[in-house]
Amino acid sequence: MTAQAVAQAATGAAGEAAAPAEGQAVVAEKTREVIVTYFGQLDSDPTLIIEKIEKWINGSYTLLPNIIVALIFFGIFWGVAKAVEASFVKWAARRKRKNLGEVLGGFLRWAVTIFGFFIAITIILPSVEPVDLLAGLGIGSVAIGFAFKDILQNWLAGLLILFRQPFLAGDQIVISGYEGTVERIETRSTNIRTHDGRLVLVPNSDAYTNAVTVATAFKKRQSQCNLAVPAGADIAKTRELIVTTLGKIDGVLQDPAPAVLTTDLQAAKVILQASWWTGSKYAEITSVRSQALEALKAALEKNDFALA
């Protein structure tokens, strides 16, 4: 074999040996281009990323027993949290404070669950100290407090309402221009069903800081109406007729008894104010008032006491 043939054979063999290396370099470069395209400029070699992924996978296998134990502990805490909530709700219900029990029970459930989550983290990562978690929780609480100021304010106001009980579920109240029955007091709002069938959600902070009229705070409510009679009418007989008529109406209480007062004197008429007491529920008040007005008109006209 001539020297020229040997040289050509050596060159071909070197080219074949270099081909795989060149192919790997091309693949690496293409991989780098893809990473740069989707994740921005990357200064490190893509092989480092692969190595890190392998380390993460190996680390996961190492932590697998810790993860299993942590999940078991977290499941136990989750069950305990549910049991604590249920027990607190039952305890509050026996004391007729079911609404308070539901709110505080939910809070205790989340508190126990979060505590269990921290325990699980320390089991998975033994290097993490509970003090570090508490420090992080403190900083996070401040940030959460600023971010959810209104939510926390309504939550605290809801707790104060449930503790102090200025009104309860089932009471009829007037607040922020809305009148209706309190359906439920939740962590964020007081839910009111208006008399015409609408649902109004009043923020607890408003319900706690603004004036609230509790229409059913007492068992009895007074209703009134004004009657104008001619100036020449017999006022004493007119008053007696009004009181007698009101006393016969179903739903008008006899204690306190109906009453009539003279509230104004004018040239052609006298203004009489009739008052009576009923139960404090809205439906009862409106029903009795309607009956009273109709009965008074009929009685006055029947006895020739014309309305002015």
Q: pLDDT for 251-274, tens place per residue? A: 999 999 999 999 998 888 999 999
Mean pLDDT of 182-189: 90
For the record, the structure tokens of 52 come out as 């890190």
| Contact residues for 154 (Cβ-Cβ < 8 A; gap 6+) | 187, 188, 189, 203, 204, 205
| Structural domains for the chain | 47-147 (1.10.287), 166-214 (2.30.30.60), 220-302 (3.30.70.100)
Instruction: Select, from the ranges 11-15, 60-64, 82-86, the one with the highest average predicted confidence (pLDDT).
Output: 82-86
Mean pLDDT of 126-144: 61
How do beta strands 220-230 and 269-279 pair?
Answer: antiparallel
Q: For position 162, what pLDDT does the model report? A: 86
Write phi, then psi, for 91 (nearest 5 degrees): -60, -45
Q: Could you give the count of Cα atoms lying within 13 Å of 288 in the half-sphere of its Cβ?
A: 27
pLDDT over 70, % of the chain: 72
Model confidence band, residue 23 (pLDDT cutoffs 50, 70, 90): low
Mean pLDDT of 2-14: 44
Residues 66, 73: Cα–Cα separation, whole Å: 11
Model confidence band, residue 42 (pLDDT cutoffs 50, 70, 90): very low
Residues 256, 278: Cα–Cα separation, whole Å: 9
Model confidence band, residue 305 (pLDDT cutoffs 50, 70, 90): confident
Q: Name the nearest CA neighbour of 278 among 245, 301, 255, 307.
A: 255
Burial, 94: exposed, middle or buried (Cβ in 10 Å; 0-12, 13-18, 19+)? exposed
Candidate from 64-78, 143-157, 238-252, 270-284 with smallest mean pLDDT: 143-157
Q: For position 41, what pLDDT does the model report? A: 47
Mean pLDDT of 7-32: 51
Q: For position 278, what pLDDT does the model report? A: 96
SS3 for the chain is CCHHHHHHHHHHHHHHHHHHHHHHHHHHHHHHHHHHHHHCCCCCCHHHHHHHHHHHHHHHHHHHHHHHHHHHHHHHHHHHHHHHHHHHHHHHHHCCCHHHHHHHHHHHHHHHHHHHHHHHHHHHCCCCCHHHHHHHHHHHHHHHHHHCHHHHHHHHHHHHHHHHCCCCCCCEEEECCEEEEEEEECCCEEEEEECCCCEEEEEHHHHHHCCEEECCCCCEEEEEEEEEEECCCCHHHHHHHHHHHHHCCCCCCCCCCCEEEEEEECCCEEEEEEEEEEECCHHHHHHHHHHHHHHHHHHHHHCCCCCC
The mean pLDDT value of the chain amounts to 80
Mean pLDDT of 124-148: 62
Mean pLDDT of 119-124: 83
Q: What is the dihedral of CA 62, 67, 70, 72, to 10 degrees?
A: -120
**Cα dist from 235 to 44, 228, 260, whole Å:** 104, 11, 10
End-to-end Cα, the chain, rounded Å: 142
Q: pLDDT for 194-250, tens place per residue? A: 999 999 999 999 999 999 999 999 999 999 999 998 888 889 999 999 999 999 999
**Look-up: residue for tokens 């016969």?**
248
